[in-house]
Copies of this chain bind each other. A is one copy, B any other.
Amino acid sequence: MDLKAYLSEKQMMVDQALREIYPEPQGPAEALIEAMRYSLFAGGKRLRPILCIAAAEAVGGKGPDVLPVACGLELIHTYSLIHDDLPVMDDDDLRRGKPTSHKVFGEAVAVLAGDGLLTEAFRIMSSPEAANRFEPSTLLRVICLIAEAAGYKGMVGGQTADIKLEGKDLEPALVEFIHTHKTGALIRASAASGAILGGGNEEQVKAITSYGESIGLAFQIADDVLDIEGDTKTMGKGVGGDEQKKKITYPGVHGIAKSKEIQKDLVERAIKDLDRFDYRADPLRKIAVYIIERKK
């Protein structure tokens, strides 16, 4: 299979579904809807929704069925970027080559756009459009799993640790905590939710969850490495920012060579998790490799 064609096909599918969710900005809260759309259509790779779709297909499910949940995952991811970029957080001016939300809309609307996207994620995931495609109890299980991964036990907890521990000398265990929570948790939940909604049995769900856990961590380590080795133009944001801001990174704790070794091991482990799956898991296998070989 051709991964590039696969990714671009699924990306278009997700973009189309996202466009259908949103009305044109209007009314007294016009600025809010505009800001939500601005970040949502700022050129994201749609990795999380694609993982959800690919996981559903790997267990024999239909990709398009999971779109409401896949879109919800992208909304949650997008909100987290807007809030992370705020001056009181990472204070970033550029994201995917474009000015960040607060630079365009001001900080108040940026906070609210994040809030709006996060809330809207749960609306879409619980909407009749989603509820009519799955057993309601299965959908509830997935919503709960995603909320847990996105919340204080997952992504928000990881971001807090990242902010609070910035500039400190760190144990390897702490940098692992930050990465598995801040980035890993939602990626793992994306794969897991696809496997559940696609009708996978518990063994399959467990295997794909483990796969998601490994590539989630690998993804963030690759991000750290790209921040050092990438170039601004390809990345669409400043490079070298992590070191400047004394961010806690794998290369910072383990060095570049060791970090690359760790990410390679993680990808091998992820692919091994898929041992019992047939060709329908090929996209997941190739995505695992792509995650550490991408240039942005």
Residues in A lying within 8 Å of B, measured CB to CB: 27-29, 31-33, 36, 79, 83, 86, 88-89, 106-109, 111-112, 114-116, 118-120, 122-123, 126-128, 131, 135-137, 139-141, 143-144, 147-148, 150-152, 156-161, 163-165, 174, 177-178, 181
| Copies in the assembly, this chain | 2
Decide if A28 touches B164 in the complex (CB within 8 Å): yes
Q: When the two chains form their complex, are residues A160 and B89 in contact, meaning their CB atoms are under 8 A apart?
A: no
On whether the beta carbons of B115 and A157 are closer than 8 Å, the reply is no
Which residues of chain B are within 8 angstroms of A111 by Cβ–Cβ distance? 83, 86, 88-89, 111
Tell me which residues across on chain B come within 8 A of A108, comparing CB atoms.
Answer: 86, 88-89, 163
Question: How many angstroms between the C-alpha atoms of A119 and B113 in the bound complex?
Answer: 15
Q: Determine the chain B residues whose CB is within 8 A of the CB of A160 once the complex forms.
A: 28-29, 31-32, 109, 112
Question: Which residues on B sit within 8 Å (CB–CB) of A28?
Answer: 157, 160-161, 164-165, 174, 177-178
Bound together, the chains give a CA A86 to CA B137 distance in angstroms of: 37
Is there an interface contact between B147 and A123, defined as CB atoms closer than 8 Å?
yes
Knowing A29-B181, A161-B28, the reply to whether A112 touches B144 (Cβ < 8 A) is: no
Considering the complex, give the chain B residue whose CB is closest to the CB of A157. Answer: B29
Chain A interface main SS type: helix
In the assembled complex, the Cα of A75 lies from the Cα of B128 at a distance in Å of 24
Given contacts A108-B89, A128-B144, contact A156 B31 (CB under 8 A): no
If A109-B163, A164-B31 touch, does A152 touch B119 (CB 8 Å cutoff)?
A: yes
Return chain B residues, CB-CB under 8 Å to A139. Answer: 136, 140
Q: Output the residue of A32, A108, A109, A178 with the most chain B CB within 10 A.
A: A108
Docked Cα-Cα span, A150 to B116, in Å, equals: 8
Measured between beta carbons, the chain B residues less than 8 angstroms from A32 are: 152, 156-157, 160
B163 lies within 8 A of A112 (CB): yes
B137 near A123: Cβ-Cβ < 8 Å: no
Whether the Cβ atoms of B122 and A122 lie closer than 8 Å is yes
Pick from A118, A119, A136, A157 the residue with the most CB of B within 10 Å.
A119
User: Which 10 A-B residue pairings sit nearest by Cβ, starting from the closest?
Assistant: A136-B136, A123-B147, A29-B157, A119-B151, A28-B161, A88-B107, A32-B160, A116-B152, A126-B144, A126-B143
| Cα–Cα, bound, A152→B13 (Å) | 24
- CA of A39 to CA of B135 in the docked complex: distance in angstroms? 36
Minimum CB distance partner of A137 in chain B: B136
Interface CB pairs A-B, < 8 A, 13: A27-B157, A28-B174, A32-B157, A33-B152, A79-B115, A89-B111, A108-B163, A116-B151, A119-B152, A122-B143, A126-B143, A126-B147, A131-B141
Name, among A148, A158, A160, A165, the residue most crowded by chain B CB atoms within 10 Å (CB to CB). A160
